[in-house]
Amino acid sequence: MVTFNEERTSYSLWSLNLKDLKKPQKDGDNKIKMEVDTDETTKINYTFRDILISSDILSGCYSSGYAKFGKTEVIAYLDTVQFIDDTSSSDQKIVKFKLDSDYKSELIDIPRIFYTVLREPNRTVKYKINITVKNNDGGLLAATILAVNIALMKASIQLSDIVIAVTIGIIKNTEEVVVDPDAETLGRCCAIINYGICPNLNTVVLLDQVGCSSKYNNKKLRDLGHRGCMILKDKVFKELPNLFKSDS
């Protein structure tokens, strides 16, 4: 009888799997290797590029949000609201998204993501969000989601939760994990994952993986994305109240 004491593929807090509960592994004497006990060479560096968020940068619009990740710049602004009558259909969305036409294929998930968190208490007001990409140097989806979040919050539209997204790439041949890669690094990646969560609701709203890695499996890539989202959430929540202080 050969027993395989196989090491678990992930030691993150979120890797609880129901299959482990059905077949409990007996680790009597073996200590479970924690992720903090790994070597320094294999420890993943969660370092983001310089993040700049701002609001009220455009005049003449209802509200606006701005996000800058390194060299990636995105502006999201709302037009003046329109009032519609009560006879409109209930299937009609009250928030419309107009994506940048040059980057429509990359930003195609933006309406779906925000329909998850948008609430519609007032169906007589219709909003239109315009998304303009100033520069794209990788991580466009993460920056756009942050900019749209700020625009919606400045417009006092009710959201269930904030959406935080992160882009993680695995370098080909060296299997190095790069958090928030730029466009030159994305070209050298063999696996790219875009992962987005609502941190307070603890739900996943964006999962977009292209490519595969020989070192990390699908679950591990999702764990890396989740941890990256948590770290980015702490950075963003530290700066977010400054946008709503009054200048005095």
Partner 1 sequence: MDKDLEDGLLERIFMFHAIENNARLDGRSNECYRSPEIFLGINENCLGSARCTMGGSDVMVVIKPDIYKLTKEPTWEDYIKFYVTCSPVAHPKYDDVGDDNDIEGEEVSSTEESIMVDALMAMFSSIKDEMDFSNFRISKKHIWTFVVDVVVHADNGGVFDCMAIAVRGAFADVQVPRIISTMIDYGEVGLEIDSDVTFWKCRWDLWPLICTTNKLGFENLVSCNRYEDKYVKSLLMIGLKHDEVKDGDIIDYEDMNYDISKHIFYAKMRKEGGLQILSIDDMTDLGIKVVLKMFSEVDKLIRDCLEKKDKKSNTVSNRSITYV
The residue ranges that bind partner 1 (CB under 8 A) are 4, 9, 14, 16-19, 90, 92-93, 96-99, 104-105, 108, 111-112, 115-116, 128, 191, 193, 198, 201-214, 216-219, 222, 226
HSE-CB of 104 using CA atoms within 13 angstroms: 5
Element (H, E) at 210: strand 203-211
Give the Cα separation of 56 and 54 in Å (integer).
7
Q: Nearest approach, Cβ of 210 to partner 1 (angstroms)? A: 5
CB of 245 to partner 1, least distance (A): 31
Strand segments, DSSP code E, in 56-144 are 63-69, 72-78, 82-83, 95-98, 125-135
- Residue 159 CB, shortest distance to partner 1, in Å, is 13
Diameter over CA atoms, the chain? 75
Element (H, E) at 149: helix 140-154
Measured from the CB of residue 139, what is the shortest distance to partner 1 in angstroms? 17
- H or E stretch covering 204: strand 203-211
Q: Which is nearer to partner 1, 35 or 56 (CB)?
A: 35
Residue bearing tokens 């679950």: 219
Which of residues 69 and 216 has its CB atom nearest to partner 1 in the complex?
A: 216
Q: Is 166 helix (H, G, I), strand (E, B) or coil?
A: strand
| Tokens matching residue 187 | 């070209």
> Looking at beta carbons only, is 53 or 94 nearer to partner 1?
94
Q: Going by C-beta distance under 8 Å and a sequence separation of 6 or more, which residues neighbour residue 104?
A: none
Q: Cβ 24 to partner 1, closest distance in Å?
A: 16
Minimal distance, residue 33 CB to partner 1, in Å: 17
Q: Which is nearer to partner 1, 118 or 240 (CB)?
A: 118
Decide whether 135 or 202 has the Cβ nearer to partner 1: 202
Q: Which residues fall within 8 angstroms of residue 214, CB to CB, at 6 or more apart? A: 175
Nearer to partner 1 among residue 46 and residue 111 (C-beta): 111
